[in-house]
Amino acid sequence: MQVLKQLLANDRIQKVWNNAQIPVFCLLPGGADTCARRVLLVRLPPDAGTRVWLRAGRVRNPQWQPDAGAWRLPVSWLDSVIEQSLEDLGAAYFIHMYKPEQRCTHSCQTARRLECECSCLGAYHRIAWKELQTYGTTEGFKVPLVELAFACRKLVHLASGDRMAVNL
C-alpha cells in the first residue's frame, strides 16, 4: 500500500479519506506491492449500516484491510458499488489515476464505465449519454505524486448539484 501512503500524505486527500459522510473509492494501479493487480479500496463513513450494501447479493465478501483502514473489493465491482453508493447515499468520492496529458475526446465523452483518466477530471465524462446523466462530477482536484498522478472526483446526483466546470 505504498501508493496509498503517498496519497494520504496529501492534505486534501487525507481530508476526503477521513470525511464522515461520503464513501471514498480508491483504485490503485497494479505494482510491485500489489502483485501487479489493481486494487479497489472503499473507505466507509463510521455509520456501520452503510456497509451492508457492499456485499448485497454478491457471492464474494469484501476483505478488511487493516493497514489501509478500508475494505478491499474485486475491481470488477467498481461501477456497481459506486452507483449503489450514489443511489443510497447520494454521493461518492472516487480517487484514481490521472493523465494530465490525455486530451478530453470522444472516448471520454462516450464512455460507459465510470473510470476516467482524462485531463477533464471527469467534467465531461459520459456526457454524450443522456440516459447516464443521473450523476455528475461536481468537484475534482489533481494529486501529483512522485511517479504517478491521481485525481480525486466527487460524484453526486445531478439533482443535488451542478456539474463541475473545467476549462480545457
Select 17 or 98, whichever has its Cβ closest to Zn ion: 98
Phi first, then psi: give them for residue 33, nearest 5 degrees: -85, 0
Find the binder of Zn ion among 104, 143, 151, 155 (CB under 5 A). 104
Residue keyed to cell 477521513: 18
- One of 118, 143, 152, 155 touching Zn ion (CB under 5 A): 118
Which CB, 54 or 108, lies closer to Zn ion?
108
Q: How far apart are CB 161 and Zn ion at their closest, in Å?
A: 19
Q: How far is the CB of 122 from Zn ion (least distance, A)?
A: 7
The answer to the question of residue 108 lying near Zn ion (CB under 5 A) is: yes
CA atoms within 13 A on the CB side of 155: 31
In the sheet with 39-43, reading across from the earlier edge strand, the strands are 63-65, 70-73, 39-43, 24-28, 91-97, 149-157, 135-144
Is residue 121 a contact point for Zn ion (CB under 5 A)? no
> Interface with Zn ion includes 114 (CB under 5 A)?
no
Strand partners, 139: 154
Outline where 18-67 has alpha helix (H).
Answer: 52-55
Which residues are within 8 A (CB) of 66 and not within 5 positions of it... i.e. 6 or more apart?
A: none
Give the Cα separation of 49 and 88 in Å (integer): 11
Binding range to Zn ion, per CB under 5 A, among 44-52, 66-74, 90-98, 101-109: 101-109
**Which span sits near Zn ion by CB under 5 A: 11-19, 79-87, 118-126, 127-135?**
118-126
Using the minimum distance from each CB to Zn ion, give the nearer residue, 13 or 108.
108
152 binds Zn ion (CB under 5 A): no
Site residues for Zn ion per CB under 5 A: 104, 108, 118, 120, 124
